[in-house]
Structure 1
Amino acid sequence: MVYISRICFRKYGNFVDNLRLFVRGGSGGMGLPRLGGQGGNGGDVWIVAAKDMTLKKIKDKYSHKRFLGGTGDNSSVRALKGVNGKDAEVFAPVGITVTTDDGRILGELNKEGDRILVAKGGSGGSSYTGFKPSKGKVKHIRLDLKLIADLGLVGFPNAGKSSLLTALSNATPQIASYAFTTVRPEIGKVMYPDYKQISVADLPGLIEGAYMNRGMGHKFLKHVERTKQLLFVVDICGFQLASKTAFRSAFETVQLLTKELELYKEELLSKPALLVVNKMDLPHAEDKLAELKEQLKNPEEFSDLLPDDMIPKNYLIFKHVVPVSTVTGFGIDHLKSCIRHSVDDVSAMETNAIHQERLQALRSDLHQHL
């Protein structure tokens, strides 16, 4: 038995995944020239990862979106060394990337308790500065949330991503027979009998041109960056967004999804990937699956089926190709098993890499002492 809990975020209209803040370090305190006293330093401004925080909570609680470090105390006869100003801490969710307005990355919050200094306080006045203090640093910064999950569902609208997560979870999110049902990010946490938990992110469907920010392009693609593996979901019968757009076969759909990720950020394709072929309950699905598997074995031979702008530089090699039907439940248990094996394989590789690094460091230290 596999259980799953679901964390549902609000619609993108209310769900906040980026926020711009004004931050300023506190000014230092004045020194005392006649006694050589030193003013206190101004307080710093920090972004701190905290449990149960969201960007929407920050936006709602601090509508001014201004965070200032405290001012350092002046030096005085009673206290030659002025007290430092109080630091300002902005509590934010895990998964945040902090950047300046010009795109320079200041740091990332990858786990609870991580801290990023975003505005340094000014120095207190001293004999070195003519007892005059300095002002704190001033910045506009951006907090950009990228959901962290073990796997991210990648697919076009109506491929059945929400239905797939429902089949895995026995939950009942809103699902309809039209495209763009999912307009909010959702994370499902799958728990196996040995209490192993694997998180799967279901995100709004891509459309062609997503890398150029069409549709919800960048709102989707930036979240894919923080997932450890990719779970492609395609309709075995192909996909057509609207009557005026081209029909794409299952093979074309796979390559177009690959191309969209490649154009947005090529390193996304270095992630391990699984392919879920959905809607196997439809007529002639088995024949189409056999054709798709043959095409995926030698994709270069079938590149003439694709327009030039759809051909990716490198074709993805999937760890598993799993046919399923979210209507009948066919293949769901096998998919759960494949997901578990894939996640465990990656964890084992990461653990081995860490051990190798530590061993190399120990050897290096030993060599230096000989």
Structure 2
Amino acid sequence: MVRGSCVLFRKYGNFIDNLRLFTKGGSGGMGYPRLGGEGGKGGDVWVVAHNKMTLKQLKDKYPQKRFVAGEGANSRVSALKGSKGKDCEIPVPVGVSVTDENGKVIGELNKEKDRILVAEGGLGGKLLTNFLPLKGQKRVIHLDLKLIADIGLVGFPNAGKSSLLSKISHAKPAIADYAFTTIKPELGKIMYSDFKQISVADLPGLIEGAHMNKGMGHKFLKHIERTKQLLFVVDISGFQLSSQTHYRTAFETIILLSKELELYKEELQTKPALLAVNKMDLPDAQDKFHVLMNQLQNPKGTVQGTACTLLRRIDRTSCPQGSHIQQQKPLEIRAFYRKVKE
């Protein structure tokens, strides 16, 4: 195994995962009635995928978020057939889903140079249109990014996902003793001295009913689709969102998280998973851990098969104290990732 140590975790601040854009195809060119000349077609608007592009870069570069293609050339004596207007290309990151204002999916861009036509240019003036040009198509589109990461951190609010990242890396995510500290995805890369790297996505906490879009569940669950492996982070003391909701043990938390993924999209259950049992510095944590291990090994009909068998490894952690963290650092994550790839 290649030796490597974590040298940097680059955090991408102000992460943006969706944008609303106005697009308009170019108008056609005027026809030439006396000589039967045909005006040029208006330019089209395309969305094109680029590996090194981000939605934040797109927003910063085009703050108006308006994209209009060029107009077709008018027909004239020296060129009876007018030339086509200039196309407009919108550079977007790979992994973007494009929808219209009504939520209808126009298409997805899953690899470099994928392209989708979002607004068509108008026809040039000709005999059928009384030599008058047609206007280009107007369309409001939504760009929805599904993160592409090697490892996705999954858990209920306040489980310690951000704290875990801060211990295994140089990242300094927002950490506080209340739920929903992470309100948007954080994407970064753990880079090693041999120049290998693993991307990690710290996803906002899920809640029960996320598969039905409770707590913006679909907005967060969509990112899990684009991760190669999952790292479940679970509080050994269990989870309770509020005094009005049921208390869940650590075992129930694992089952519920797994169930939310399955109900949202069944194929998510096939992703290999690692489990980090966090907050092991709390009183009675060791006793609770032994109970949890017994429940995972002997679910007694509570689990529908795959929820436990997908867990490739279980680690005990205590993020505030750092115990069991420095020993594993990202090497354990890397070893897990390499093993799954092989």
Scaled by the length of structure 2, the TM-score of the pair is: 0.85
Choose 193-202 or 84-93, whichever is displaced more: 84-93
Q: Which runs of 5+ in 2 are unaligned?
A: none
User: 2:37 maps to what in 1?
Assistant: 37
Bigger shift: residues 130-139 or 86-95 = 130-139
Change (3 A) 1:186 1:16: closer
Determine whether 1:183 maps to 2:177: no
Greater helix percent: which structure? 1
Name the counterpart of 1:315: 307
Matched, 1:7 2:1: no
The answer to whether the aligner puts 1:46 opposite 2:46 as a matched pair is: yes
Question: 2:53 touches 2:91 (CA, 8 Å); kept in 1?
Answer: no
Aligned ranges 1:37-76 → 2 under 5 Å: 37-50=37-50, 51-55=52-56, 58=59, 61-63=62-64, 65-76=65-76
Match of 1:325 among 312, 318, 321: 318
Partner of 2:333: 339
Deviation at 1:150, TM superposition (A): 1.0
Partner of 2:225: 225
Q: Structure 1's 189 and 134: CA in aligned 2 closer, same or farther, altered over 3 A?
A: same
AA matched with 1:318: L
Query: 1:353 is matched with which residue?
Result: none
Residue 340 of structure 1 aligns to which amino acid in structure 2?
R
Q: Are 1:155 and 2:149 an aligned pair?
A: no
Classify the secondary structure of the residue corresponding to 2:269. helix
Distance (Å, rounded) in 2 between the aligned partners of 1:191 and 1:153: 17
Distance 1:237 1:281 in 2: 11
Distance 2:216 2:100 in 1: 23
- Measure, in 1, the Cα distance between the counterparts of 2:59 and 2:188: 24
Look up the SS of the partner of 1:223 in the other structure. helix
Deviates more, 1:155-164 or 1:50-59: 50-59
- C-alpha separation between the residues in 2 aligned to 1:267 and 1:289? 29
Instruction: In structure 1, give the amino acid aligned to 2:251.
Output: F
Residues in 1 aligned to 2:316 and 2:78: alpha-carbon distance in whole angstroms: 78
Distance apart, 1:38 and its partner CA: 3.0
1:281 corresponds to: 281
Contact 2:18 2:55 in 1 (8 A): no
Q: 1:5 to 1:328 in 2, by over 3 A?
A: closer
* Equivalent-residue separation in structure 2 for 1:277 and 1:260 (angstroms): 19
**Contact 1:320 1:338 survives alignment (8 Å):** no
Query: In 2, are the aligned partners of 1:234 and 1:254 still within 8 Å (CA)?
Result: yes
Percent pairwise identity = 59
> Which secondary structure state, in structure 1, belongs to the residue aligned with residue 311 of structure 2?
coil
- Quick one: which amino acid aligns to residue 119 of structure 1? A
CA distance in 1, matches of 2:135, 2:150: 44
Q: Distance in 2 between matches of 1:164 and 1:189?
A: 14
1:19 to partner: Cα distance: 2.6
Q: Structure 1 stretch 83-92 or stretch 250-259: which is displaced more? A: 83-92
Distance in 2 (alpha carbons) for counterparts of 1:235 and 1:52: 36
Greater shift, 159-168 or 266-275, is seen at 266-275
Give the 3-state SS of the residue equivalent to 2:139 in structure 1. strand
> Kindly tell me: are residues 331 and 113 of structure 1, through their superposed partners in 2, closer, same or farther at Cα, counting changes over 3 Å?
same
Distance 1:108 1:38 in 2: 35
Aligned-partner Cα distance in 1 for 2:82–2:125: 9
Q: How many residues align?
A: 335
Contact 1:154/1:230, CA 8 A, preserved across alignment: yes
- CA distance in 2 between counterparts of 1:284 and 1:99 reads 50
Preserved contact between residue 167 and residue 322 of structure 2 (Cα < 8 Å): no
Residues 41 and 72, structure 2, Cα contact 8 Å, conserved in 1: yes
**Structure 1 pair 142/174, CA: closer, same or farther in 2 (3 Å)?**
closer
- When residues 135 and 211 of structure 1 are mapped into structure 2, their CA distance, relative to the original with a 3 A threshold, is same
Which residue does 1:359 correspond to in 2? none
Q: Residue type of the partner of 1:42?
A: G
CA change 1:83–1:289 in 2 (3 A) is same
Superposition deviation, residue 156 in structure 1? 1.1
C-alpha distance 100-184 of structure 1, shift in aligned 2 (>3 A):
closer
Q: Aligned equivalents of 2:329 and 2:9: distance in 1?
A: 18
Question: Structure 1 CA distance, aligned partners of 2:118 and 2:326?
Answer: 46
C-alpha spacing 1:21/1:59, structure 2 compared with 1 (3 Å): farther
Q: Report SS of the residue matched to 2:198.
A: strand
Q: How far apart are 1:41 and its partner, in Å?
A: 1.5
Cα deviation, residue 191, structure 1: 1.6
- Aligned runs of 1:240-279 on 2, under 5 Å? 240-279=240-279
Mapped contact 1:44–1:121 kept (Cα < 8 A): yes
Equivalence for 1:308:
none
TM-score by length of structure 1 reads 0.80
More relative contact order, 1 or 2 (CA 8 Å, 6+ apart): 2
Aligned to 1:319, the other structure's residue is in SS state strand
Q: In 2, are the aligned partners of 1:258 and 1:312 still within 8 Å (CA)?
A: no
Moved more, 150-159 or 29-38: 29-38
SS at match of 1:281: coil
- The offset of 1:16, in angstroms, is 4.2
How far 1:131 sits from its partner (Å)? 4.9
**Alpha-carbon separation, structure 1, partners of 2:306 and 2:169:** 34
